[in-house]
Amino acid sequence: MVLPTLSAESPRPGNVAVNSPPPSRTGRIFDIKRFSTHDGPGIRSTVFLTGCPLRCAWCHNPEAFVLHGLRDSPGVREVTVPALVRELERDLPYFDRSGGGVTISGGEPLCQPGFVCELLRTCRDRELHTALDTCGLVEPKALIEAAALTDLILYDLKVMDSAAHAAWTGQPNHTILENLQRLNDLEVAVWIRLPLIPGVSDDPRNLDAMIARLAATRFRRVSILPYHRIAEAKYQRLGLPNKLAGVEPPSVERIEDVRARFAAAGFDPHIGR
Amino acid sequence: MTPRIQALRAATLAAVPRISIERARIVTATAKSAAYQQASIPMRRALVFKELMETKQLHLGEGELIVGERGPAPAAVPTYPEVCVHTAEDFAVLDSREKIPYRVDEETRRIHLEDIRPFWSGLSQRERMFRELPPEWHQAYEAGIFTEFQEQRGPGHTVLGDIIYQKGFLDLKLEIRDAIAALRFESDPLAYDKREQLRAMDLCADALIRYAQRHAERLDELAAAETGAERAAELRTMAAVCRKVPANAPETFHEALQYYWFVHIGVITELNPWDSFNPGRLDQHLWPFYQQGLERGDLTEDQARELLQAFWVKFHNHPAPPKVGVTAQESGTYTDFALINVGGVKPDGSDAVNDLTYIILDVIEEMRLLQPSSMVQVSKKNPDRLLRRVGRIVRTGFGQPSIFNTDAIIQELIRQGKSLEDARRGGCSGCVESGAFGREAYFLSGYFNLPKVLDLTLHDGFDTRTGQQLGPHTGEPREFRSFDDLFAAFEQQLKYFIDIKIRGNNLIETMFGKYLPAPFLSLVIDDCIANGRDYHQGGARYNTTYIQGVGLGTVTDGLASIQHHIYQNAGCSWEDLLAALDADFTGHEDLLRRFLDETPKYGNDDDRADALVPRIFDSFWGMIDGRPNVRGGTHRVDMLPTTCHVYFGKVTGALPDGKRAGETVSEGISPVQGADRCGPTAVLNSAAKFDHIKTGGTLLNQKLTPQLLADDEGLRHFTHLVRGYFSKDAHHIQFNVVTRETLLAALAHPEKHRDLIVRVAGYSDYFVNLTPELQQEIIRRTEQEAF
């Protein structure tokens, strides 16, 4: 088999299904983190895309929405798919040995559906393992299209009560839960990701509701991501109010409680990844 | 750890390094004797060795299993006046300096000044070579362009092969007798030289056998006086071991270890070679004895462990010989660099890892001593669990073992002309230096300051620090029309100093061969007996001379900065740049910030900087590799610094990468401290962009946080990181796993962190023993977090 080259050619419209998002050769990213070991299996490079429909109070990447739409703001750059893949492939020797690959994160990557699908398609053509990290509040069509092109979806669930969800993230959660069901009907591998935010997502009622909802799906791997304060400096730098200022990260015991709760319900919980 | 080993370990950790005058007295008295005066030079060296082995005090420590000390007690370090005769001031410095002191008592000082110094003054190797070296050499040496390994120590980097596990010294004596009998005085003009050399080896063989017998006699006396039946039996066994080896080939695990140790003492008493001496592939050499012992039922796994632990203590009892001046600056440590190798492949190319490999790794972890240093060879044929086991030790944060790519080492050695089998029997010694163990005399000749050459290039060969025209006139930078013009000037400077260094090397090696042969060491290195030639004269099967490049990261970033700011972006003029450098950036803070933050830097997988790495390396390499040395071998290149990057930084001015005058330069092939900002994979990719196979060793330091290696998943990532790097034919990587907070705490409260061990550069050291500059540098090395 001849590996497709990474020329700057236009995407292949023939491969795009009817009603798919229009393919886009360029996208906007604000960071690439190499040797990323918490966003899917193995050693990975995670690319962070701008844009997000949510405004989670605990967001660790606020630059995703703050910088979105700003032209030439420092940190954000416009990249083509071939150039981006070429950059991501620099760590191929480590992906190969560790079973790692590329994770597409943000922000919400599917704010740029045409670019994401083109990126996933190119990675698949080049035998790169991909993971797509999504908040779920996305166009169903885009999600289904992306799900067909990626090896793994990292799917965030935060707050099960829709009003509370809206209060903490700015949006209700019914689309997110519907999309979860849509993924359940497909074959793509999905890891559920739970940001464990003290006073927000860690109360037992929320956890039980989540467990009940997930029990009805085929998804069993759950990543528990304990809140940490690394982003505080970003809030200061960007001049944003930090709604969680002063909130302490959950204790080791609390994290273990949550893990045990998921394990007891038959899930495969992991801390931090 | 048994109570015995705990006690031995505590004793060696508590031993205070001090100077012993015993060796110098014996050497001096012998040199005054008529027999010595009448003898040929090899026989003179043999007579000195014989006197040392027959008359120096024996030390048999409480509870010891392996015996033999170089000095009269642990950590009592001799001097080598025939190599370097210390001044009264040297002794004062050694005794009083804050870091790496050696206590010198009044009696020692008095004897030295009255008896030793007057006799050797003018006759030492150091004075002999300094008299002969040309003025350009002295000028460059004093300005800090290069260092000289042989100015206070004998040539080293010698590792023992498998000879002692197959032959006793009585067997070697038979080989010597045959070699002398085969000499043809009527047709071989070198017959007399060869006979004297072989006679000297023969005398040295007898001397070591006698030294072992003296131990046997003392052990018998101790056994007779011992009240405990168990220890008495043990002492009798030890006496029997000392009667058996080194005279005869060993048959047990205990005999094999004791035999090696006697040879080790012989080598480091005869002279003070760099990197002391080294058993090399310990898990391979000992494996048959271990296996047979278990089968016969006269050895248990626990006994093997205890013997190995006792063996470890013996290395730790022997701090490096005292170093002063530039030599102390380039290698400021008590460690004497014996580097135990485990893992790798067998001579037939198959996976060499065995049960003993893992037992030795346990010993390394449990003993947690600076000496011996340890490394693991990892071939693609070795299992991943070997690397995971290593990761578990590395994460305890003491910097050992370092990790080497066997498949790269073999390619390096084959490229240099070694046979496939000799290459597979090889490994690395010292910090990272590849060698054909048991068959190669590979001398490191000195560090070479690459950033200083850039400093001189920017000043038309003028050294602003010493105020003299050191290099050739290669033009004012503002006249360089292109980056290529600048690079050509850099290469011209480089070539000028490399030629001076190689001229010096050839002279110094000739003088060692002529005046200070090493007949004892020659006994155990192939093919010195067969050739009738000394180890220092090209008697070994392979003879290599290394020059070690230092500051690759700094010189790359400096050149990248010029290329970026002057020739590509035109954002800065030569006038601005040179004015900033000459002012050491004072009043030019904006330019300094741009150099530091807005310039492509090596270590980020950024080809704007990294593309210069192979270009610089190939220039340096091309000027050295393949040039003949005086021993029938060739010059080669290594890329490693020990602690020389601190010294080289001190003597190098401000550079366009943002280095200020006096600041440390980068170490090994690591990026400039703190310049790498894209994670470990980017560092490894940058570091692998030049061809390591053309070297005899490269050194890459990587700092990781303990969290990264905290769980099994982390250990897997660690394994894959190393495997990924090695898939690019990289030579070596070592890890410092310690948090910045811990280091800062140790700086603030050294008394509470005396046991904190960190990786420096090819070896580990106690953090509190490091110089302040080195401590700061280790704190600055980028700590890679998991994301």
Q: Is B608 on the interface with A (CB under 8 A)?
A: no
Q: Which of B431, B528, B572, B644 is catalytic?
A: B431
3-state secondary structure B101-165: CCECCHHHHHHHHHHHHHHHCCCCHHHHHHHHCCHHHHHHHHHCCECCHHHCCECCCCCCCCHHH
The full DSSP string for B168-182 is -HHHHHHHHHHHHHT
- Mean pLDDT to the nearest integer, A168-192: 97
Nearest to A97 by CA among B138, B581, B433, B380: B380
What are the helix (H) ranges across B446-585? Answer: 450-457, 483-515, 519-524, 528-531, 552-562, 574-582
Nearest to A104 by CA among A68, A71, A64, A73: A64
Distance in angstroms (rounded) separating the CA atoms of residues B704 and B629: 40
Residue B682 and residue A273: Cβ atoms within 8 Å? no
The full DSSP string for B593-658 is HHHHHSS--TTSS-HHHHTHHHHHHHHHHHHHTT-B-TTS-EEEEEB--TTHHHHHHHTS---TTS
Of A34, A43, A93, the CB nearest to B717: A43
Residue B681 and residue A33: Cβ atoms within 8 Å? no
CA distance A12 to chain B (A): 30
ipTM: 0.87
Residue A94 and residue B784: Cβ atoms within 8 Å? no
Residue A91 and residue B786: Cβ atoms within 8 Å? no
Q: Which of B148, B234, B270, B433 is catalytic?
A: B433
Distance in angstroms (rounded) separating the CA atoms of residues B174 and B227: 42
Residue B787 and residue A98: Cβ atoms within 8 Å? no
Residue A33 and residue B720: Cβ atoms within 8 Å? no
Residue B786 and residue A35: Cβ atoms within 8 Å? yes
Q: Is B720 on the interface with A (CB under 8 A)?
A: yes
Residue A37 and residue B680: Cβ atoms within 8 Å? no
pLDDT of A10 strictly over 50: no
**Token pair of B718 as six digits:** 């660690």
CA distance B684 to chain A (A): 10
Residue A33 and residue B787: Cβ atoms within 8 Å? yes
Please provide the size of chain B in residues.
787
* Other CB atoms within 10 Å distance of the CB of residue B615: 14
Q: What is the pLDDT of residue A62?
A: 84
Distance in angstroms (rounded) separating the CA atoms of residues B769 and B328: 13
Per CB distance under 8 Å, which residues of A are interface residues toward B?
33-38, 42-43, 46, 90-91, 93-94, 96-98, 100, 273
Q: What is the pLDDT of residue B364?
A: 97
Cβ(B527)–Cβ(B538) below 8 Å:
no
Q: Which residue has the higher pLDDT, A25 or B184?
A: B184
Chain A residues touching B787 at Cβ < 8 A:
33, 35-38, 46
Vertex A80, ends A79 and A82: CA angle to 5°? 130
Chain A residues touching B714 at Cβ < 8 A:
37
| Bridge partners, B403 (sequence order) | B376, B733
Cβ(B163)–Cβ(B530) below 8 Å:
no
B528 is catalytic: no
What are the helix (H) ranges across B226-345? Answer: 229-244, 253-270, 282-296, 301-316, 325-330
Of B716, B727, B784, the CB nearest to A93: B727
Distance in angstroms (rounded) separating the CA atoms of residues B413 and A69: 57
Distance in angstroms (rounded) separating the CA atoms of residues A56 and A72: 25
Residue B714 and residue A37: Cβ atoms within 8 Å? yes
Q: What Cα–Cα distance (Å) separates residue B739 from each residue in A252, B331, B338, B756, B784?
A: 20, 25, 28, 12, 10
Chain A residues touching B681 at Cβ < 8 A:
34-35, 43, 90-91, 94
Chain B residues touching A93 at Cβ < 8 A:
724-725, 727-728
Which tens digit of pLDDT belongs to each residue from B494-549? 999 999 999 999 999 999 999 999 999 999 999 999 999 999 999 999 999 999 99
Residue A43 and residue B681: Cβ atoms within 8 Å? yes
Chain B residues touching A96 at Cβ < 8 A:
724
Query: CA B9 from chain center: how many Å?
Result: 24
CA distance A27 to chain B (A): 21
Interface contacts A/B by beta carbons within 8 Å: 58
Q: What is the pLDDT of residue A70?
A: 60
Cβ contacts of residue B54 below 8 Å, gap of 6+?
B207, B210, B211, B214
φ/ψ of residue B113, rounded to 5: -75, -30
Mean pLDDT of all residues belonging to chain A: 89
* pLDDT-based confidence at residue A5 (cuts at 50, 70, 90): low
B433 is catalytic: yes
Of B708, B714, B721, the CB nearest to A94: B721
* pLDDT-based confidence at residue A16 (cuts at 50, 70, 90): very low
Low-confidence ranges of chain B (pLDDT < 50): 785-787
Q: For the structural domain made of A22-271, what CATH number should be given? A: 3.20.20.70
Of B723, B784, B786, the CB nearest to A38: B786
**Token pair of A183 as six digits:** 């993924």
Q: Is B388 on the interface with A (CB under 8 A)?
A: no
Distance in angstroms (rounded) separating the CA atoms of residues B541 and B522: 11
Q: What is the pLDDT of residue A18?
A: 43
Chain B residues touching A90 at Cβ < 8 A:
605, 681-682, 685
Which tens digit of pLDDT belongs to each residue from A61-120? 888 777 666 655 667 899 999 999 999 999 999 999 999 999 999 999 999 999 999 999
Chain A residues touching B724 at Cβ < 8 A:
43, 91, 93-94, 96-98
Interface test with A, best of B597, B676, B787 (most A CBs within 10 A): B787
Of A35, A38, A93, the CB nearest to B679: A35
Residue B682 and residue A46: Cβ atoms within 8 Å? no
Domain boundaries, chain A: 22-271
Of B719, B727, B787, the CB nearest to A35: B787
